[in-house]
Structure 1
Amino acid sequence: MDPSKLFCLFCGCSVPNHNDTFREDEHYFLIRRPHFASEENFSDKITIQTMNCPNCHKVSIDIVGVGSQFPNRITHFNPISLAKAYPDYIPQTIRSDYEEAHAILNLSPKASATLSRRCLQGMIRDFWGISKARLVDEIDALKDIVDPSTKKVLDALRKLGNIGAHPEKDINLIVDIEPNEAHLLLKFIELLMQKWYIERHDNKQLLQDILDLDKDKQNQRRSKNS
Structure 2
Amino acid sequence: MADADIFLSSGYNSQTVRLVQNLNAAICAHCDGLSVWINSQMVFPLGGEVPAHEDMPAEVKRTFVEASSILTASPRASAALARLAIQQLCISLGCTKKDLDAQIGELVAKGLSPEIQMMLDSVRVIGNNAVHPGEIDLTDDQETAKFLLECINRICQRLITEKKEVEDLYTLLPQGARDAIERRNSKLLSAPTPPKSDEK
The counterpart of 2:43, out of the listed 75, 79, 101, is: 75
Task: Give, in angstroms, the shift of residue 162 of structure 1.
Answer: 0.8
Query: Structure 2 matches for 1:181-200, cutoff 5 A?
Result: 181-200=144-163
Task: Give, in angstroms, the shift of residue 204 of structure 1.
Answer: 2.9
The counterpart of 2:26, out of the listed 48, 66, 78, is: 48
CA distance in 1, matches of 2:42, 2:121: 29
Is the contact between residue 71 and residue 145 of structure 2 (CA under 8 Å) also seen in structure 1? Answer: yes
| Cα distance change, pair 126–176 in 1 and its aligned pair in 2 (3 A) | same
Task: Give, in angstroms, the shift of residue 182 of structure 1.
Answer: 0.8
For residues 47-93 of structure 1, what are the alpha-carbon distances to aligned partners after superposition, in whole Å with 9 as ceiling and x for unaligned? 5132334xxxxx4443344xxxx3x312352x722342544x64211
Aligned partner of 1:108: which letter? S
Task: Give, in angstroms, the shift of residue 138 of structure 1.
Answer: 1.5
Q: Which residue of 1 aligns with 2:95?
A: 130
Q: Which residue of 2 aligns with 1:141?
A: 106
| Cα distance change, pair 61–82 in 1 and its aligned pair in 2 (3 A) | farther
Query: Identity rate of aligned residues, in percent?
Result: 21
The counterpart of 1:168, out of the listed 129, 133, 146, is: 133
CA distance in 2, matches of 1:48, 1:29: 20
Q: Which residue of 1 aligns with 2:197?
A: none
Listed as ranges, the gaps of 5+ residues in structure 1 are 1-27, 36-40, 54-58, 216-226
Q: Which residue of 2 aligns with 1:11?
A: none
Is the contact between residue 95 and residue 106 of structure 2 (CA under 8 Å) also seen in structure 1? Answer: yes
More helix by share: 2
Aligned partner of 2:41: which letter? R
Aligned partner of 2:65: which letter? E
Aligned partner of 2:77: which letter? A
Is the contact between residue 8 and residue 21 of structure 2 (CA under 8 Å) also seen in structure 1? Answer: no
RMSD between aligned residues:
3.5
TM-score, reference length from structure 2: 0.65
| Cα distance change, pair 136–49 in 1 and its aligned pair in 2 (3 A) | same
Is the contact between residue 49 and residue 63 of structure 1 (CA under 8 Å) also seen in structure 2? Answer: no
Is the contact between residue 105 and residue 183 of structure 1 (CA under 8 Å) also seen in structure 2? Answer: yes
CA distance in 1, matches of 2:104, 2:42: 34
Query: Structure 2 matches for 1:187-226, cutoff 5 A?
Result: 187-208=150-171, 210=172
CA distance in 1, matches of 2:115, 2:165: 24
CA distance in 2, matches of 1:47, 1:31: 21
Is the contact between residue 102 and residue 112 of structure 1 (CA under 8 Å) also seen in structure 2? Answer: yes
Task: Give, in angstroms, the shift of residue 114 of structure 1.
Answer: 1.0
TM-score, reference length from structure 1: 0.58
Question: How many equivalent pairs are there?
Answer: 163
For residues 100-121 of structure 1, what are the alpha-carbon distances to aligned partners after superposition, in whole Å with 9 as ceiling and x for unaligned? 1101111221111111111111
Is the contact between residue 49 and residue 64 of structure 1 (CA under 8 Å) also seen in structure 2? Answer: no
CA distance in 2, matches of 1:92, 1:45: 36
